[in-house]
């Protein structure tokens, strides 16, 4: 079965919604990534989301209280993509929505001052009742909703009216590959013919804490709140809809190298959180594939679960007609995916 990518939308703070990644990545501005020192010892760059609330697809105010910035970005990205696709309701009723996500704790919840306050109350309490009462005063009923792991998936479905097979995969950057893989399995089973696949990433201290023990060195740690979504369809469905094929999906492997990379014109790699890891990843890819590899890390930092969509977008922009690319992504635990795509 032939499966193709027919649309991609992505957002990171440095890019306006309508901008595409440039052919020359050097023009991507880095100056807005503020460096900060956390816990008196780690120099990091967090690029937080600053999303224009005037955007026509900006979520309703009643939903914002349980949305993180990455969820807002996801909702806008997904609506832009569906606006482009212009699917009838009959297609939306059956299409898949496969989302990947990694960080479910936002700055409002991981507020160390509030945590210190709550702990202080626990320590001061003389009885269990006092402790529960003081904790109750600190704990918001919105927490289960704000930390809902399928929050982005559910809000995207709500705003796009996608109602078919759906899930959220987590938690490392290659989870978007698993989301893609699940959608492709459903295509093969004949359950669906089109899917929106994507991910979002929330960059904050919690994300840093999540990763710092897995990293050999935290120097040059950088990440961006971001989101990306792409449409995949069976060839027959895309043909029926008269849609332009951006990329053919040739092969998707987990923890296995493709049989041959001889015909690959480019290698894109991702999954780094620090400059050092990014440099060594590039060297490893170069050695493995004998082609100079390209990474977005120096320009945008880690994009977590949204990185695969960005790399597909890069392949779409940079590949010439008939050329293939290998997208290699590795997570902090060393698991990896190899996705081969081809420009029609």
Partner 1 sequence: MKKSRVFIVFCETVSPLGMNGEALNKSLIENISAVAPMSQFNAEGLSQPNACEIHDELIGFLPSDGIDWNCIARYDRKFALMAAVVNQHHQALYAMVSSLPIERRGISLGLGANVFPMENIAMEVEELTTLGLFHTLHRVNQSIHPKFNAIFNHADLYAKYLEVRLGEVGFSKNILTACSSSTQAIAFAASKIMVGDADLMIAGGTDSILNNFAYISFGKLGVLTHETCKPFDVNRNGAIAGECAGITVLVSEEGLKSLGLDPAFELIGFGNSMDAYKITAPDPSGIGIEKAMRKAINMSGAKASDIQYINAHGTGTRSNDEVELRAIERVVGDAAPSISVSSTKDRHGHSIAAAGIQEFHVLLASMKSGVVPANLNTTKPLQTNLRLPVGVNLQHEIKIGMTNNFAFGGVNCSLMVKKLTL
CB 9 within 8 A of CB 57: no
Pick between residue 54 and residue 86 the one whose CB is nearest to partner 1. Answer: 86
Pick between residue 32 and residue 120 the one whose CB is nearest to partner 1. Answer: 120
Pick between residue 102 and residue 302 the one whose CB is nearest to partner 1. Answer: 102
Pick between residue 21 and residue 326 the one whose CB is nearest to partner 1. Answer: 326
Task: Label residue 153 exposed, middle or buried (CB < 10 Å: 0-12, 13-18, 19+).
Answer: buried
Pick between residue 29 and residue 136 the one whose CB is nearest to partner 1. Answer: 136
Rg (CA), the chain: 21
User: In angstroms, what is the minimal distance from the CB of 42 to partner 1?
Assistant: 10
- What is the distance between the alpha carbons of residues 330 and 336, in angstroms, rounded to a whole number? 4
- What is the distance between the alpha carbons of residues 129 and 54, in angstroms, rounded to a whole number? 46
User: What do you get for the CA distance between the two ends of the chain, in Å?
Assistant: 16
CB 306 within 8 A of CB 202: no
- What is the distance between the alpha carbons of residues 251 and 44, in angstroms, rounded to a whole number? 35
Angle, helices 307-318 vs 175-188, to 10°: value is 70
User: In angstroms, what is the minimal distance from the CB of 173 to partner 1?
Assistant: 11
Pick between residue 9 and residue 92 the one whose CB is nearest to partner 1. Answer: 92
User: In angstroms, what is the minimal distance from the CB of 164 to partner 1?
Assistant: 7
Cα distances (angstroms) measured from residue 100 to each of 84, 97, 146: 22, 10, 16
User: In angstroms, what is the minimal distance from the CB of 78 to partner 1?
Assistant: 12
């Amino acid at each position: 079965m032939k499966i193709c990518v027919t649309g991609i939308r992505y957002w990171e703070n440095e890019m306006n919604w309508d901008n595409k990644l440039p052919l020359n990545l050097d023009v991507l501005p880095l100056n807005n990534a503020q460096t900060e020192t956390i816990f008196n010892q780690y120099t990091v760059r967090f690029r937080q989301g600053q999303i224009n609330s005037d955007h026509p697809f900006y979520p309703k105010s009643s939903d914002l209280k349980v949305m993180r910035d990455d969820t807002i970005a996801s909702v806008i990205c997904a609506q832009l993509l569906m606006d482009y696709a212009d699917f009838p309701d009959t297609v939306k009723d059956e299409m898949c929505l496969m989302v990947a996500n990694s960080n479910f704790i936002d700055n409002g919840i991981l507020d160390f001052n509030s945590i210190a306050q709550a702990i202080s109350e626990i320590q001061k309490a003389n009885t269990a009742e006092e402790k529960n009462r003081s904790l109750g005063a600190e704990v918001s009923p919105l927490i289960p909703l704000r930390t809902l792991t399928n929050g982005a998936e559910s809000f995207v479905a709500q705003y796009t009216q996608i109602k078919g097979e759906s899930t959220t995969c987590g938690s490392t950057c290659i989870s978007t590959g698993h989301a893609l893989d699940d959608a492709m399995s459903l295509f093969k089973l004949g359950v669906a013919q089109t899917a929106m696949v994507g991910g979002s990433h929330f960059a904050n201290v919690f994300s840093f804490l999540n990763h710092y023990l897995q990293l050999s060195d935290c120097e040059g740690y950088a990440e961006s709140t971001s989101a990306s979504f792409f449409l995949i369809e069976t060839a027959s469905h895309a043909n029926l809809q008269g849609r332009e094929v951006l990329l053919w999906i040739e092969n998707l492997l987990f923890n296995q190298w493709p049989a041959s990379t001889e015909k690959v014109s480019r290698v894109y790699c991702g999954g780094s959180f620090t400059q050092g890891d990014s440099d060594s990843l590039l060297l490893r890819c170069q050695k493995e594939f004998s082609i100079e590899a390209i990474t977005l890390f120096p320009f945008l930092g880690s994009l977590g679960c949204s990185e695969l969509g960005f790399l597909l977008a890069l392949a779409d922009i940079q590949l010439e007609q008939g050329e293939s690319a290998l997208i290699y992504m590795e997570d902090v635990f060393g698991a990896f995916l190899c996705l081969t795509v081809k420009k029609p």
